Amino acid sequence: MYHSWLDRWDERRARRGEEGKGRTALTLDAERAFPGAEKITSLEEFCVLADQAVANPAFFDEPSRSDQGFQGQDGWLKFPSDISTDVEENNIVWAKIADSGSFDRVLVIFHHWNASSRNRQIASFFSKRGITVVEIAMPYHFERSRPGSLHADYMLSANLGRTIQSVRQAVLDGRKLIRWLKREGYRDISVLGMSLGSWVAGLIAAHDPAVSKASLFLTAGSLADMVWTGRATRAIRDSLAPEIDLTVLRRAWGPLNLGNYAQRLARPDLALHVVLAKRDKVVLPELSASFMQKLEDTGARPNILELNCGHYSLAMPPHILLAGLSLKRFLSSPDKGRRT
């Protein structure tokens, strides 16, 4: 009875999230994803560049290592993004800092797609326990929102190139913030990503050796599969399906597939923590299971917590309390963890 109610609650929440989401046209916009690719006009050419990006270890490296432009005041930090877009507001990165008073540990949080508020309770909980929390705004969210938009449609959409650009921008912004935190004296840097934010946090952890721990909530490997099968992205699939199939989409969004970086995530100095929802209709459990298997096949030993709830109901007690306690143990432990 309880789980039937939980499923209905998740479905109602998903329906509310559909407001303002409509079908759009599939667009390549290759030059956004791959600078210098203005002449690319076919899906095959786009996919060739995507294949090259997956093989290029520098694709998610910062184009500029300048520390200029960081401004902090009253618990806020802002700095210029290294990727310039046609939305002026999106080109300035904002982050909210909950200071613990210690430089021992810091946790950088990457929120979910279309988040309407930051995670104040998580920030307060950990900052009171000696872990500074920095909540960064991902592209086209919060202070970076596109004027007039009802949701963060530029972050994830049927525009293949803009989606890659947006996720890559989120990764570069996060890496730039992490480098600043290291320069400020923070020693142990962890990242936490939720749903779409878990892809960003995972890509950062895979490419940035400064990250020692990564916690991924509601995650999987292939972003293409998540969009194609997920409850929250039906409008995007409906936009893509008339012109592209899942096999091609997987290749086009290959640079965003965490499974392609499983070997990097298995590096011995990175600890992984994963929270999954067994009743998830947004990130399907079979996609998560496939990614977990790939991680373990490469030698990673993620600490995995599976809860009997849905994607949205993870935020409800007792599930969020269990997830929070698991995260606390993970951040406090020096070990790489185990399945729970």
160-184 and 43-55 are packed helices; what angle lies between their axes, rounded to 10 degrees?
A: 20
Task: Tell me the pLDDT band of 5, cut-offs 50, 70 and 90.
Answer: low
In a domain? residue 150: yes
Q: Is residue 164 a contact partner of residue 138, using CB atoms and an 8 Å limit?
A: no
Q: Measured between alpha carbons, how far is 88 from 190 in angstroms, rounded to an integer? A: 29
Range of the domain at 87: 2-59+71-332
Contact between 94 and 76 (Cβ < 8 Å): yes
Report if residue 19 sits inside a domain.
yes
Mean pLDDT of the chain: 93
In three-state secondary structure terms, 35 is coil
Residue 339 resides in a domain: no
CATH of the domain at 246: 3.40.50.1820
Check whether 339 has a pLDDT greater than 50: no
Is residue 65 included in any domain, yes or no? no
Task: Give residue 155's pLDDT.
Answer: 97
CA distances to 50, 87, 212, 213, 296 from 338, rounded to whole Å, are 34, 43, 16, 14, 11
Interval 250-288: pLDDT, tens: 999 999 999 999 999 999 999 999 999 999 999 999 999
Give the residue from 151, 135, 139, 42 showing the smallest Cα distance to 95.
Answer: 135
In a domain, 87, yes or no: yes
Count of structural domains, the chain: 1
Categorize the per-residue pLDDT at 24 as very low, low, confident or very high, splitting at 50, 70 and 90. Answer: confident
Contact of 170 with 139, CB cutoff 8 Å: yes
pTM for the whole structure: 0.95
For residue 66, being part of any structural domain is answered with no
Domain assignment present for residue 291? The answer is yes
Across residues 181-208, what is the average pLDDT?
97
Residue 338 confidence (pLDDT): 40
Is pLDDT above 50 for 337? no
**Residue 133 in domain:** yes
pLDDT at residue 86, rounded to an integer: 95
